[in-house]
Amino acid sequence: MTPTELTQRLRDRVLLLDGGLGSYFIAMGLEQGRAPEAWNLEHPEQVIEVHRRYVDAGSDIIQTNSFGASPPKLAASGLEGRCAELNLAAVELARKAAGASALVAGNIGPTGRFLAPMGDATEEQLEEALREQASALARAGVDLISIETMYDLREALAAVRAARDTGLAVLCSMTFELRPRGVFTIMGNRLVPSLQALRDAGATAAGLNCTVTSDAMLTMVEQTREQASLAPVVAQPNAGQPIATPSGIKYDADPDRFAADIGRMLRAGARVVGGCCGTDDAFIRATRRAIDTMVSADG
Amino acid sequence: MSDLFRELGQHLYDGDAPGVIELTRKAIEQGLDAREILNAGLLPGMERVGRDFKDGELFIPEVIVAARAMHAGIELLKPLLARGAGPASRKIALGTVKGDLHDIGKKLVGIMMQGAGFEVIDLGHDVPPERFVEVVSTLKPDLIGMSALLSTTMPMMKNTIEAIRAAGLSGKVKILVGGAPITQAWADEIGADGFAPDAVGAVECARRLL
């Protein structure tokens, strides 16, 4: 899918992504210290099963199990030199689950290496590494690329440049937190200028994922409204926060509340939505219902 | 004297490691007490960094660069501090709990702890309670830092603390917890010794506990 095709499609409709993968794999017995990407070869049936849950729940786009499949991140989990192989397997499994019901986005996460002054990596090195992964995903036949959970704008831009050069549509989300002076990444990148920079670098749509719950992300999405050129926005919050009470721990997350917040994000300009950590197929199913209800109400 | 300390604190705040090294050397050459150089020069600079981080003036990159400059100064003072009745280097073992694959926050805590002069043992992510117990009994760290980023893995902190208790090691080590969903209330409920909302707070909390 080219950037123009995705832009066109987003003009016509909202696209629903999937939710988290990691917690499913751990529940299915992912061994301690093992990279989830290793399962693309060792337990392909389980990976397909998780993807299938999201397809059944109504995801329009499912994301490959390749968040940590960039060469530096794989090397850190003892899987060096296996970038092409693991990304190819990731795409094949997602494709099997998606069939004709969903698009497949090749998922890319941070390399885990820090740029100066925190670390010794250079932007060129990160771009080269991310280019290797983006090319592997493109060769394996993904429909688009989705970059997620970036916390340093410089690495996010390197990833967008690498992904854009495949010719495919590119989604890119960074992870922000609410600080005393506004919405920032941990590295101090501001929300609105960051999303603008990602768009300028060639992201078809840019947005936010992880770290915060749906109500906090809603206030962030509302801030992107001040700049029309940022639309369409991507939003994938985490499931709710746990609260410690005298009678034990309680979770304030429930799929319906999450879906209601997503509905408000859509009204604030989000066009690509989904869930991040802690979300499962129940969250995606509830969000599907919320989107469909909105469409018929607006229809 | 106080000018030299103020200048030292400023170079530390600016993350200028060569400047911190130069001024620390100068202070040592002038025959100033190593403990005083630390307490009146380096620490106030780092405390200002921590305050401005909390106020949203500074972000992780500035904080880390300042922590590294602090580390450079402490390295020069260490032999002198050790000669006095000063404490030996404190050890902290860090890990993200079992079931949780997040490790960026924990890595940042590690960098900050190193900057503050701690010896850091990084156990990685998805660390089961047994491994924490093993590390406490064999490597004998002063502190354990546990991180959890998911509401679903938070209870594993409790299991880990219980495992350390069951092994009869609870008096041997202080336990510090953190991560996006973690609160003071949760830390109290599971019997952790300390909680910090971010990497800067983790260092302050570790200092307070020891």
> Residue B127: closest CA among chain A residues belongs to which residue?
A32
Determine, for residues B188 and A117 on separate chains, whether the beta-carbon distance falls below 8 Å: no
Give the mean model confidence (pLDDT) for residues B101-111.
84
Contacting residues for B153 by C-beta, under 8 A, at least 6 apart: B97, B98, B99, B100
Q: Provide, as residue numbers in chain B, all residues whose Cβ is less than 8 Å from the Cβ of A243.
A: 183, 185
CA distance B173 to B136: 7
Q: Residues of B with CB below 8 A from A33's CB?
A: 124-126
Q: Which of A28, A212, A249 is the best substitution to test chain B (most B C-beta atoms within 10 A)?
A: A249
Interchain CB distance below 8 Å, A188 and B111: no
Overall pTM surpassing 0.90 (yes/no): no
Mean predicted lDDT score pLDDT of chain B: 90
Q: Is B151 on the interface with A (CB under 8 A)?
A: yes
Q: Would you kindly state where each structural domain of chain A is located, as residue ranges?
A: 3-294
CB contact under 8 A, A180 and B55: yes
Question: Which among A151, A248, A277 is the nearest to B150, CB-wise?
Answer: A277
The chain B residue lying nearest A23, using CA atoms, is B99
Report the chain B residue with the minimal C-alpha distance to residue A178. B56
Considering just the CA atoms, what is the radius of gyration of chain B in Å?
A: 18
Is any Cβ of chain A less than 8 angstroms from the Cβ of B132?
A: no
> Which of these ranges, A189-193, B10-14, B67-71, B133-137, has the smallest mean pLDDT?
B67-71
Question: Which contacts (CB < 8 Å, 24+ apart) does range B167-171 have?
Answer: B167/B133, B167/B136, B167/B137, B169/B133, B169/B136, B169/B137
pLDDT tens readout for residues A154-169:
999 999 999 999 999 9
Tokens at A50, concatenated? 């998780």
Q: Which residue has the higher pLDDT, A264 or B82?
A: A264
- Cβ pair B128:A187 closer than 8 A: no
Minimal-distance CA residue of chain A relative to B96: A33
* ipTM for this model: 0.78
- Helix (H/G/I), strand (E/B), else coil: B103: coil
Q: Which residue of chain B comes nearest to A24, CA vs CA?
A: B99
**Chain A / chain B CB contacts < 8 angstroms:** 77
Q: Which residues pair with A236 in a beta bridge?
A: A209
Burial class (CB in 10 A: 0-12, 13-18, 19+), B16: middle
**How confident is the model over A58-115, as pLDDT tens digits?**
999 999 999 999 999 999 889 999 999 999 999 999 999 999 999 999 999 999 899 9
CATH, range A3-294: 3.20.20.330
B65 reaches A (C-beta below 8 A): yes
- pLDDT higher than threshold 70 for residue B37: yes
Domains and CATH numbers, chain B: 2-83 (1.10.1240.10), 91-209 (3.40.50.280)
Q: Which residue is associated with the tokens 């991560």?
A: B179
Q: What average pLDDT does chain A have?
A: 93
pLDDT score, position A294: 87
Structure confidence at residue A77 (pLDDT): 85
Tell me how close the Cα of A115 comes to any Cα of chain B, in angstroms.
10
The whole-number pLDDT of residue A251 equals: 58
pLDDT confidence of residue A212 = 87
CA distance A206 to A204: 7
CB contact under 8 A, B150 and A151: no
For chain A, say whether B189 makes contact (Cβ under 8 Å).
Answer: yes
